[in-house]
Structure 1
Amino acid sequence: MLTPAHRYRSDDEDSARWVGFPFRDGDIVISTRSKSGTTWMQMICALLVLGTPELPAPLNVLSPWLDWLAEPQDAVYARLAAQPHRRFIKTHTPLDGVPFDPRVHYVVVARHPLDMAVSLYHQAGNLDRVRLAELTGQPAPTGPPRKRLPVEQWLPSWVDREVDPRTDLDSLPGVMLHLRDAWARRHEPNVELVHYDDLRADLGGEMRRLADRWGIPVAVERWPELVEAATFGRMRERADRLAPDTLGVLRDRRAFFRQGGSGQGRELLDASARARYQERVSALAPPDLLTWLHR
């Protein structure tokens, strides 16, 4: 049995659910940090694997979040076992927390950490915490909701937070831990790194690159409709189908596809805060990774 190097646990997730998972040849594991393009990559995988914009089921059914505690492990395993097509499975766990199998392809999507953090801030305001606690067996929040800082004040505090990255993966140290591990594996034949901004700049080119890497044949005449179906605007229009939220953890499903922009995080920081961000990330990641991530 393949055993990951590390176990990651939070109130909502447990990477130990990967241990013993029966992989198949050609499985695709989508490993991203929150709000870094997870659903976008799930959609790209669905379009490439199935070859049609008319998906047979919602994305969270086709591509379940294996280590999320809101669904029983047996149910997730059974759903994946029943799939006749090539499987593509979601996780927010870094690659060193997932069994590394040479038969499996791993894709990590990276996004500028400041942009990811802004999306994370807005996503946090869209979550029903009471419902989430109910699903994961955690104590329900009590008392009045804590007042949230405006995003302009919250973002510098997110940059400055000193935490254990292995227990707080959505922190800046946690984001960089995830990307640093993937960067170190980028030359492995079954690991792909994808930059969020490359998807924005050349979606068709990135989809073709991934199809080639994964050995997925796509008829030439199908490319225009597949690429169109993967655009952010088209996905937002189909939010009820792509992110149906059958478990009721979102307050607004359409807000899940909020904007998807780039550069918004940097614009919220003044010169001093931007310099502090650069100081922090320079201590958390090698220069070549930062050059690629910030280009």
Structure 2
Amino acid sequence: MAALRRYRTVVSDSALWADFPFRAGDVVVSPPAKCGTTWMQMMCALLIFDKTEFDRPLTEISPWLDATTYDTAATLATLGSQQHRRFIKTHTPLDGLPFREDVTYLCVGRDPRDVMLSFENATANIHPDAMPPAGLDMQPPPPDQLDRFWLWANSDLVDDTSSFGVTLANLVNHVRTFWDRRDEPQVGLFHYADLKADLPGELRRLAQLLSIEVSDERIEELAAAATFDHMRGRADDLAPGVDAKLWRSNENFFRSGTSGQWRRLLDPVALDRYHRRVAELAPPDVADWLHRP
């Protein structure tokens, strides 16, 4: 077995997965940041519990195992006490996770340009008392948004504690680790655009992947609870980090859920430059899939 690649950011360390006691049937929810992690956690919760209301916040039901901003011992104790089928959050690519045939691994990809703008909105919503961690020496971003875009696009892969690890290179690398194993029966690769276009259909695909039997009528009922507007209305229960008071506004974590806002930022010359950079990082099939309409 190949050694696991270690991924670190200012808020996570994949080494925390090394000795995790998996159970058969566990589900690992591992999209890149701002690609639909909470959405996929909600879809798993709806199917696993066959409910639309839960008795505690989603972040407690599906904790972020390798987050260094939480008490790891407490997280492991929570997961150890759970009697239901567990579904565990991470932002670690597949080559940094222990891979077992009796565990399901889920990823969601998204147009990287939308990811960059979504991350900007999220960082603007972080409460000043919450992030970054005390003592961290992070360089302030450029004041101009287009300059920030090129810094994100041109940065190399980050796997240390110098940043949040949200770069174009990190996103492409993350998706490629799933793309290369997408045909394996315990790997599920979803796209944000497909979730927006046909949420019941994608929920049905997830149910099949998890071997959960559910009627078409029930799929429609469950999908209604996973729409963006419905989740935004339940932000205090569904947004990550609510227990740590991470956000200025929990509701604004679900800011818009729209795609294509990058069109206001990138003119044709900038788009050409962007696609040249993507071609340096991703083979054509992965690039085409990521940028599907």
TM-score by length of 1: 0.91
Residue 30 of structure 1: aligned partner: 29
Structure 2, unmatched stretches of 5+, are none
Tell me if the contact between 1:165 and 1:177 (Cα under 8 Å) persists in the aligned partners. no
- Distance (Å, rounded) in 1 between the aligned partners of 2:3 and 2:68: 19
Shift, 1:148, TM fit: 5.8
Alignment match, 2:75 = 76
- Structure 2 counterpart of 1:117: 116
- The aligned amino acid for 2:143 is L
What is aligned with 2:268? Answer: 271
| CA drift at 1:178 | 0.6
Aligned pairs for 1:6-85 (under 5 A) are 6-85=5-84
- How far apart are 1:141 and its partner, in Å? 6.9
Q: What is the percent sequence identity of the aligned residues?
A: 45
How far apart are 1:215 and its partner, in Å?
Answer: 0.4
Amino acid at match of 1:35: K
Cα distance change, pair 193–43 in 1 and its aligned pair in 2 (3 A): same
Per-residue CA deviation, residues 24-45 of structure 1 (Å, 9 max, x unaligned), is 1111101111110000000000
d(CA) in 1 for partners of 2:132 and 2:145?
25
2:265 counterpart of 1:281: no
The two structures, once aligned, show a CA RMSD in angstroms of: 2.1
- For 1:220 and 1:191, the matched residues in 2 are separated by 23
Distance 1:277 1:139, change over 3 A: same
Counterpart CA distance in 2 for 1:246 and 1:268 is 34
The alpha-carbon deviation at position 73 of structure 1 amounts to 1.1
Letter of the 1:253 counterpart: N
1:238 corresponds to: 234
Cα distance in 2 between the residues matched to 1:34 and 1:60: 15
What is the SS of the residue equivalent to 2:42? helix
Deviation at 1:140, TM superposition (A): 6.0
Q: What is the CA-CA distance between 1:173 and the residue it aligns to?
A: 0.9
Aligned equivalent of 1:250? 247
Match of 1:171 in 2: 167
Q: Secondary structure at the match of 2:131?
A: helix
Range moving further from structure 2, 100-109 or 220-229: 220-229
Corresponding letter in the other structure for 2:118: S
CA contact (8 A) 2:182 2:189 kept: yes
Using the TM superposition, name which of 166-175 and 56-65 deviates more. 166-175
| TM-score, normalised with respect to structure 2 | 0.92
Contact 1:32 1:110 in 2 (8 A): yes
Q: Does the 8 A contact of 1:13 with 1:68 survive in 2?
A: yes
User: Is residue 2:180 matched to residue 1:184?
Assistant: yes
Shift of 1:19: 0.8
> Can you list the C-alpha shifts for 1:210-264, whole angstroms capped at 9, x where unaligned?
1011101224442232110000010001101212611122111111001111111
Q: 1:156 aligns with which of 142, 150, 160?
A: 150
Q: Which amino acid aligns with 2:252?
A: A
The alpha-carbon deviation at position 96 of structure 1 amounts to 0.7
Q: Which amino acid aligns with 1:280?
A: R
Please report how far the alpha carbon of residue 163 of structure 1 lies from its aligned counterpart in structure 2 after TM superposition. Answer: 2.3
CA contact (8 A) 2:152 2:166 kept: no
Q: Where do 4+ consecutive residues of structure 1 move more than 4 Å?
A: 145-148
SS at match of 1:132: coil
How many residues align? The count is 288
Letter in 1 for 2:157: D
CA contact (8 A) 2:203 2:219 kept: no
Deviation (angstroms), 1:4: 5.1
- State the distance in 1 between where 2:290 and 2:136 align: 38
Are the aligned partners of 2:27 and 2:103 in contact in 1 as well (CA < 8 Å)? yes
After TM superposition, give the deviation of residue 133 of structure 1 in Å: 4.5
C-alpha distance in 2, partners of 1:113/1:51?
A: 32
In structure 1, stretches of 5+ residues that fail to align are none
Partner of 2:126: 127
Query: What amino acid is the match of 2:196?
Result: R
The answer to whether residue 198 in structure 2 is matched with residue 205 in structure 1 is no
Q: Distance in 1 between matches of 2:141 and 2:2?
A: 42
- The verdict on how the C-alpha distance between 1:262 and 1:181 changes in structure 2, with shifts beyond 3 A counting, is same
SS of residue paired to 1:29: strand
Work out which of the residue numbers 220, 223, 237 in structure 2 matches 1:224: 220
